[in-house]
Structures are given as structure tokens and as C-alpha cells.
Amino acid sequence: MKNELKKLLEQNIEIVDQEIEKLLPKKLNKKWLNHALGEPLWAYHEKSCTNAISKPSWNLLSRGGKRWRPLLMKLSHDVVGGRRDINSFFIIPELIHNGTLIIDDIEDSSDNRRGKPCIHKIYGEDIAINAGNALYYLPLLLIIRNNSLNYKIKSQIYEIINEEMIKISFGQGMDIYWHKKNSEDVTEEHYLQMCAYKTGTLARIAAKLGAILGSGNPDQVNYLGKFAESIGVGFQIQDDILNITNNDWGKDFGEDITEGKMTLMVIKTLKEASIEDKNRLLEILKLKTKDLNLINEKIIGQKKD
């Protein structure tokens, strides 16, 4: 089963990247700008549009990634008996996801993403924020410009994306607040709800949109959304674990400690550790340190507990 899933993901990557480039070419010309934005009142400056939107976006997109959200969307479409060619739509959650990564790295003051400097480290925060925001909305062109979708389906898609993007902002808001304030009152339930909104959102979008495009009924749409959410939560927990166990995963080792994040491991340690260890853990988190000795001290302490 694991090998089959891996094979499906590998087969999917090339198709996803081809579809992304159809929507967002690496070089933007007048024809594309006219189609995407409409006829200008005066004139588009093609070079600045390419360098401010497409280039930074593709800098991140070309670094890879599992591209599992498009596959999840396709499988959700197929499982409800969908017969539509979904390839042109299944990049919607992937582009939004990459937009959130660009913004998330700025909010977390991160240095690296997928083994290379973060987009804001290369192009500056102004370009990065704008490109990240553009990736939230560009996928909607696939819906707006598509005449084969009826009004009901378009309306459902807009509603889901709007509702879910509100949730992702609240999930990110909780995460940011906790690591700024080192909130000791955060429970496992709070953490899981944050994950459901921060990381589960795009999985839910993928599954729900796939089901809607496959003409699934409301129950199927909701059930697939809940199933996908659990996958997203699992990915966040795995992400937190990799941050303190794997030095080759593409981000800075121990970055969550530097940011003072309330991960599941931190929450469990604060709940179960001795008062002395708990106070030491909080002290290290508040330092926002990049000192590997202190980071390793915290990691070893958590492993003991």
C-alpha cells in the first residue's frame, strides 16, 4: 500500500507542475496578463509582473514538495464517481498551500524552506508577501474563467474556499500567539484544533472541492472533508517531530524551539515534567535561541519525558 501511494505521488508530480505552469507561466506576457487580469486601461509592465509574482512563486514551487493535495483532490473526485477531467482544477490547493508557506516563513522569521533560503530572504518581505497573497487568489481564475462549470458548482467552490481561508488565518493566529506569549494554558485539545485549522484546512479544501467537482452529495463532501482534516493534522504532528529529530529535512533544525512554539511535544512535556524541568523548558523557549546546545538540551529533556 505504501509503495502504491508513493508511485501515485511520483506519477502525479509532473502533471501537477505542468498544470501549474499553464495557469502561471514562468514568464508572463501580454496575452497572459490580458487573459488573467483583463484588458488594461493603459498598459501592463510585463517584466515587473514576472519578477514580482511569477519568479518568486516558481522559486519555491520548483524546489519540489510531495504534491499530495492535488492527488487527494483527484481521489476524492474519483471516489464519489466523478467523471470530470480534474487535472486543470487539482492545483488549486497546491498553489494556495505554497502561498501560505511564503507568508508563514515571514511570520516565523524562518531562514530556510525546502533546503534553500526562504523567498523573503531572496526577494525581500514586500515581494514575498505580495507573491504569497497572489497564490491565494490566482487559482480562482480556474473557476472564474471556466465556462463548463455551472453557477451552483462555482458558488459551492467559492463558499468553501472563503470559509476555509478564514479558518486557516485563525489557526495561524493561534499558533503565532502561543509562541509569542509562551502560553502555558494550551492543552492538547487546543493544539489539535489549531492543527485542524492551520494544516487541516488545505487538505479539507482539496477533498471537498474534489467531491463537489465529482458531483458528490453534501454528506460525501463533509465526510471526505473530515477524513482529509485528520491527514492534515497528522502532517503537522509529523512536521513538529521532524523539526527536532531530522537535521536534513529542509528547514532549520530546532527552528520550532527558536520560535518558542507550543508543539505537541512541548505541551506534553509541560504537563508531565517535574517543576524544575518545566521551568527550564519555558526558560529556553522564552530565549528564542539558536544555540544548538540549548536546543539539544530541550530536545533531550522532552525525549526523557
How would you write the pLDDT of the chain (305 residues) with one tens digit per residue?
A: 667 777 788 888 889 999 999 999 999 999 999 999 999 999 999 999 999 999 999 999 999 888 999 999 999 999 999 988 999 999 999 999 999 999 999 998 889 999 999 999 999 999 999 999 999 999 999 999 999 999 999 999 999 999 999 999 999 999 999 887 766 788 999 999 999 999 999 999 999 999 999 999 999 999 999 999 999 999 889 888 887 776 554 555 566 666 667 788 888 887 787 788 777 777 777 766 565 565 565 455 554 44
Q: For position 102, what pLDDT does the model report?
A: 98
Domain total for the chain?
Answer: 1
Residue 13: give its domain's CATH number: 1.10.600.10
Q: For position 155, what pLDDT does the model report?
A: 96
Q: For the packed helices 92-107 and 125-137, what is the interaxial angle rounded to 10 degrees?
A: 150
Give the integer Cα–Cα distance in Å for 140 and 277.
49
Q: Which three cell numbers stand for residue 244?
A: 527536532
Query: Which secondary structure element, helix H or strand E, spans residue 117, and what is its range?
Result: strand 116-117
The answer to whether residues 99 and 123 touch, using CB atoms and an 8 Å cutoff, is no
For the chain, the distance separating the N- and C-terminal CA atoms, rounded to the nearest angstrom, is 33
Residue 214 exposed, middle or buried by CB count within 10 Å (0-12, 13-18, 19+)? buried
The boundaries of the domain holding residue 277 are: 2-304
Give the integer Cα–Cα distance in Å for 161 and 4.
30
Q: For position 164, what pLDDT does the model report?
A: 97
Identity of the amino acid at 93: P
Give the integer Cα–Cα distance in Å for 197 and 17.
26
Q: For position 257, what pLDDT does the model report?
A: 67
Q: For position 66, what pLDDT does the model report?
A: 86
pTM across the whole model: 0.87
